[in-house]
Structure 1
Amino acid sequence: MTASADLRRSTKMPVLKECLGLGEFTRKGYSKLLKAFIAEFLGTMFLNFFGCASTIAWSEDNGPSVVQIAFAFGLAAAGVIQAIGHVSGGHINPAVTISMMLTSNITVLRALLYVIAQCLGAIAGSGILRALTPENVGGNLGTTIPESRLAPVQAAGMEFFLGFILLLVVFGVCDPLRNLSHNAPIAIGFAILVGHLAAVPFTGSSMNPARSLGSAVISGVWDNHWVYWLGPILGGTVAGLIYKHFFALRSPSEDLKSLP
């Protein structure tokens, strides 16, 4: 093997290690990852518990309104992000985590741990809700199902745009050069609120694959479940890439580097 080949391999390996996040598995890094895992688990658990609780109809004359559901999910998300944002970033959504990973904001292994924590947390939240709800009420516990007159591709399209607006807001308020991070929980909560106000009649307005997974696992209803993974993840990824490459603020030093 030539010296140049050795050099290329030696420079690629640290980059690959950094991208995967292997360096985070030190004694100190492991402790931070564990805290972040628990934060994402609890955050998504509470999102599913309180959000899905708002969808329960206690009688035929006492059903939830779209406004009630929208505010429950939006405010629950805002509160949770405010509580755990400093620990894990407050993703509580695989679409957020995957978009952050694909734009090089978090490592691959951290993203994998976050998605596992989010899915387990959502299942736990829906499971607790099922245990605390009488058997003769609750229905499907807020399981997201496309409106019967929607084609699956239409439902996926709606979830695409819900994921898009959510991640556009996330990237916008978390841009470090804008210094708006203190407003992030409220802004993200409002994005979720608006998405629910608009789209609950269409798809149940998931915006979050883990949120839909938790309800589906406990209720056993899986109708067109793929819509709630593909739509938000694709929409969020497109929004993240657009923001990173077109909208993100750049430091003065970066602007100078771009000059001819």
Structure 2
Amino acid sequence: MTSSKDDLRDPKFWRAVVGEFLATTLFVFIGIGSTCGWNPPYTPSMVQIALCFGLTIATMVQCFGHVSGANINPAVTCALLVTRKISFLRAFLYVIAQCIGAVAGAGLIYGVTPAGVRGGLGATSLGTGVAVEQGFAIEYLITFELVFTVFATIDPNRKDLQGSASLAIGIAVVIGHLFAIQFTGASMNSARSFGPAVIMNFWEDHWIYWAGPILGGITAGVTYEYLFSAKTTKDTISSCMLSRQDSELIEEKVSTV
């Protein structure tokens, strides 16, 4: 992991921050555009919305992966920070760029869409009868699934990976939407929820779309990195669960059996 000072001196760092802004702008613009209800009372199907979000994120990852890593999601960025893959400064500026990009994307789709078909502009909210704790659990779990997929597809130590990593990540987004649209709107991305919330001034239960995805993403990142990574050994597993001294004592006991 590079230090914050290293990041500040690297011109590619600033290009990466701008890349996160642009990728998130396009993702939110296209994604929430699929939720608009043309020719009312026409309502877009869950499949249409899920495919649009999933294919858009796959495309953005393909386009910006070499620029910034194509996080496009504070949950992914926070998971990378906690597992020490990026610096704090990079993570902080990525999240800021993602949030500004999401507001820009939501503002653009608001501006180019006729008032009669905007609807809620894709603002995420809990489904009928879904309790707050249930909504939090859904966002936590679907983001866990997404971020776990991200970590599994970028694992440099895996030798079995075939096909497109960006498409695998896109499919993970599709899965989350097909399952959870009716529960929570299937955000699994705090910036994606933040953009429409700002433009539409809709903040009901908004904290769920920060706490659920970020905690789910961090849990997924740590779980994969220390338990399921291709480089994981009994040493990394034991050091994750125990102190280093306890781990060494256990190894000594095992070796004497």
TM-score (norm 2): 0.88
Aligned: 1:104 with 2:87 = no
Shift of 1:57: 0.7
Aligned: 1:164 with 2:144 = yes
Structure 1 unaligned regions, length at least 5: 1-17
Please list the CA deviations of residues 24-56 of structure 1 after superposition, one character each: whole Å capped at 9, or x if unmatched.
Answer: 222xx1x11111011101111111011100001
Deviation larger for 75-84 or 58-67: 58-67
Which of these residues, 17, 21, 25, is aligned with residue 45 of structure 1?
Answer: 25
Structure 2 unaligned regions, length at least 5: 237-247
Which of these residues, 36, 39, 52, is aligned with residue 59 of structure 1?
Answer: 39
- How far apart, CA to CA, are the structure 2 residues paired with 1:142 and 1:220? 12
Which of these residues, 117, 125, 145, is aligned with residue 137 of structure 1?
Answer: 117
Shift of 1:59: 3.3
**Alignment of structure 1 residues 8-47 onto 2, 5 Å:** 21-26=4-9, 29=10, 31-47=11-27
- How far apart, CA to CA, are the structure 1 residues paired with 2:27 and 2:232? 36
For residue 51 of structure 2, give the secondary structure of its aligned residue in structure 1: helix
Instruction: Summarize the Cα distance change of 1:92–1:64 in structure 2 as closer, same or farther, 3 Å threshold.
Output: same
What is the alpha-carbon root mean square deviation over aligned residues? 2.0
Shift of 1:160: 0.2
Shift of 1:130: 0.4
Q: What residue number does 2:153 align with? A: 173
TM-score (norm 1): 0.87
Shift of 1:19: 6.9
Q: Match of 2:207, as an amino acid? A: W
Aligned: 1:240 with 2:221 = yes
Q: Is the 8 A contact 1:163 1:235 kept in 2?
A: yes
Number of residue-to-residue matches in the alignment: 237
- How far apart, CA to CA, are the structure 1 residues paired with 2:207 and 2:133? 11
- How far apart, CA to CA, are the structure 1 residues paired with 2:101 and 2:70? 13
Which of these residues, 85, 102, 120, is aligned with residue 100 of structure 2?
Answer: 120
Please list the CA deviations of residues 121-172 of structure 1 after superposition, one character each: whole Å capped at 9, or x if unmatched.
Answer: 0100000000001122201100000113111111010000011000110010
Q: Match of 2:48, as an amino acid? A: Q
Q: Is the 8 A contact 1:199 1:205 kept in 2?
A: yes
Instruction: Summarize the Cα distance change of 1:101–1:137 in structure 2 as closer, same or farther, 3 Å threshold.
Output: same
Q: Is the 8 A contact 1:174 1:181 kept in 2?
A: no
Q: Is the 8 A contact 1:207 1:232 kept in 2?
A: yes
Deviation larger for 147-156 or 179-188: 179-188
For residue 25 of structure 1, give the secondary structure of its aligned residue in structure 2: helix
- How far apart, CA to CA, are the structure 2 residues paired with 1:165 and 1:143? 22
Q: Match of 1:22, as an amino acid? A: K
- How far apart, CA to CA, are the structure 1 residues paired with 2:2 and 2:229? 21
Q: Match of 2:69, as an amino acid? A: G
